[in-house]
Amino acid sequence: MLLSRRSVLAAPFLAYFNAAVNGAGLLADVETYVRFGEHRTATPADFATSEWLRGRLETAGFKAEFQPWNLDQFFLERCDITIEGRKLDAFPLWIPKSTGPSGLKAPLARYTPDAEVSRFRGRAVLMEPGGAPRRAGRGNVSDVEDSGAVACIMPSGLRSGEIVAQNAVPVRQQRIPKVLVAPAAFQALRAAAQSESEIELRLEGRLERGCGARNVIGRLERGSRWIIISTPHSGWFRCGGERGSGIAVWLALAAWAARSGAKASFLFFSASGHELSYMGAERFLSSPIVPQPVDVDVWLHLGANVAARQWEEAPGGWRPTTRKERGAVSAHRRFLAAAREAFSLVPNQEVREGRGIGELRNVEARGYTGIGLAGSNLWIHTRRDVVQSVTPDILEQVARGCVDLLSLVAREAT
């Protein structure tokens, strides 16, 4: 039977609680993570991040290692559109089709549902909002590819005003250059499309076949029962709220687990390849490294934006607040009461029974008992998701809720 929160917080194995869960330290970890740069899989920033995480696990007392794996990856160098002398930022769908260093010039045509697609041959096609599926790359967009169009441009980021990269969708080699643009850029392109003005698209980079990537794994073996804590560490941009908040909480939980005295064994796992349809997590789940479901009491997954702040519209743009964004804890019914108790002091945090999202769905499909955290973030999958997406108070509130929960779970496993 699970203990009450009051009795657990008085337990001896929580002596390291306050030191491991400190808002200033959590924020410092987000700052470190963001400073590495854009965290796309197999990039220098991604490798630096995994090196840092492994070192932190080792310092805490874990036996830590990399799990290497390979993929075909595109290393982006430039992506923009020039029209009538104005340069507009863009971001490609993955795996991009490069224009080469000389770029691509073509008249701009506007897509409409009743358009005769044959007229798009030799043109760059501007998709209207709602004219393409949310997960672009099928349906109308495929029709454009088949028409002989030389490029496809799609709107993105209607709420934030920023380009929002497509995340965790099936990865395929694009047949033509396909890019996303922000709402303001889209409006400029829409006006130019009326007269089929010429655009210049530059999408430059290199495709590497079979390049290396790696996950991070840390083990703390104490008993026959396992608790697994996972979070991704890769993403499209700097990912301060999306990934950084989960990384900071993950590191705090590792520090707590190492000093807690809990009799359960811990496995901490951090995946690269998140933005590429969970590639790294799938490599991990398919490997013999993972304990069997029968030996795992719970799998806690720290998903996207576990501790992001709210922003509010103000004259001239968006203004940060000190309020926590909406978040949810999805728990197996076995741990539902414990999760509600553990997160009772965390504001704007729903606790519900049910399946998790993201990689946790793949985990649960293999028979593991899961608890997952995820939340909202205005800047998710945009270049503006940096350190300002979080605050030390919100990070500490969520981390303390996670420690409370793991304390209950670990005590039950003893």
Strand pairing of 86-89 and 317-324?
Answer: unpaired
pLDDT greater than 60 at residue 326: yes
Read off the pLDDT of each residue in 318-332 and give the average, rounded to a whole number: 97
Closest Cα to residue 327, out of 291, 367, 373, 281? 373
Distance CA 103, CA 99 (A): 5
> Which of these ranges, 40-44, 141-145, 263-267, has the smallest mean pLDDT?
141-145
Q: Which pLDDT value is given to residue 180? A: 97
Distance CA 92, CA 98 (A): 9
Distance CA 189, CA 186 (A): 5
Q: Are 242 and 304 in contact (CB under 8 A)?
A: yes
Q: Are 213 and 272 in contact (CB under 8 A)?
A: yes
Distance CA 389, CA 310 (A): 8
Helical H runs in 292-331?
none
pTM: 0.92
Distance CA 73, CA 115 (A): 35
The CATH number of 85-196 is 3.50.30.30
Instruction: Provide the angle, in degrees to the nearest 10, between the axes of the packed helices 245-260 and 392-413.
Output: 40
CATH fold of the domain at 5-72+211-413: Aminopeptidase (3.40.630)
pLDDT in tens, 188-214: 999 999 999 999 999 999 999 999 999
For 254-267, letters b (16+ CB in 10 Å) and e give: bbbbbbbebebbbb
Domain boundaries, the chain: 5-72+211-413, 85-196
Instruction: Provide the angle, in degrees to the nearest 10, between the axes of the packed helices 23-35 and 245-260.
Output: 130
